[in-house]
Homo-oligomer: A and B are copies of this chain.
Amino acid sequence: MSKLDFISRQFSKTEKKRFEHYSVTRIWHLLDDLSIKFVTQQYISRPEGYALTDMFFPQLQVHVEIDEGYHLAPIQINRDVFREVDIINATGHEIFRVDVTKCIEEINEQISQIVKQIKSKKEIMTDFKPWDIEAETSTKTYIDKGFIHLKDDCAFRTMVDAANCFGNNFKAKGIWKGSAKHPKESDKLIWFPKLYKNGRWNNSISNDETKIREICELPEFAKQHIDSVLNGVHHKRIVFARVKSPLGDIMYRFKGEYELDKNSTNYEDGLLWKRISEQIKTYSSD
């Protein structure tokens, strides 16, 4: 996918809200910097569920929220403030706001200020990595780097691309199972769960993403599955959750390394996995 393709598809996601769309296109064109990535309508985990933010710059950890008229009713203001606090709490990110109930001259001035702040935020970052749309979903990028961290906002297009970050050398376009072995660390699996109800499985992740509950809803199979995991050797899992990308494609997003919590695992509640690391070592297949 080219940057033009990516950017223009991001624009078209906002086109139903005209003022949001005006603001998003203006911020991006005035920023005028192809080394900066943005996505629109990014999901952010919050203590109480998820929120969408209107525009997100992942390298800079900056969000822009466009306040349409309905945002500004008193109840909505409170909700927005809570949401903002939640997002900051959940992510440590910064949030800028555009009030699009103002006249166009004032909106343009607000956007100029935001663009300035985004530019200076990039300038003072010591570890800014230019947006590379090919490299960001490439196995080689993460093998060369030596690790994957949550901050990398890492997502692969296939399970093979993810599994090959750990010494595997799969050739196929797809993996037909929900996990792959880790050839270098024998106590770990590379796991590709759907973290929502799906067929016989009902997996979920906590809002702060530190816990994954793995539940099989087929009673006769559930017990057997739990026993086999408890008695098996793979009590750690590197998690790439199956998600929809900002553009609606399926991707496998890195969520960290999780370990089985045996004390909280039982036949009623299923298996509980707790995050033990936000960063994981990568290996070449040589």
Contact = CB atoms under 8 A, between A and B. Distances in A.
Nearest to A107: B4
Interface string A6-46: 01110110010011011001100110101000000000000
Contacts of A22: 4, 7-8, 11
A105 interface: yes
A15 B22 CA distance: 12
A125 interface: no
A60 to B, nearest CB: 20
A3 interface: yes
A105 B9 contact: no
Given A2-B104, A4-B103, A15-B15, 13 more contacts: A3-B104, A4-B19, A4-B100, A4-B107, A7-B104, A9-B18, A11-B15, A11-B25, A12-B18, A25-B29, A29-B29, A30-B30, A34-B105
Q: Nearest 4 A-B pairs (CB), nearest first?
A: A8-B18, A25-B25, A29-B29, A4-B104
A19 B29 contact: no
A134 B258 CA distance: 62
Q: Is the interface of A mostly helix, strand, loop or mixed?
A: helix
A104 B26 CA distance: 17
Contacts of A32: 30, 108
A12 B7 CA distance: 16
28 contacts: A2-B103, A2-B104, A3-B104, A4-B22, A4-B100, A4-B103, A4-B104, A4-B107, A5-B18, A8-B18, A8-B21, A8-B22, A9-B18, A11-B15, A11-B18, A11-B22, A11-B25, A12-B15, A12-B18, A12-B21, A15-B15, A25-B25, A25-B26, A26-B29, A29-B30, A30-B30, A34-B104, A34-B105
A247 to B, nearest CB: 12
Contacts of A19: 4, 8
A24 to B, nearest CB: 9
Nearest to A25: B25
A100 B3 CA distance: 13
Contacts of A108: 32, 34
Contacts of A4: 19, 22, 100, 103-104, 107
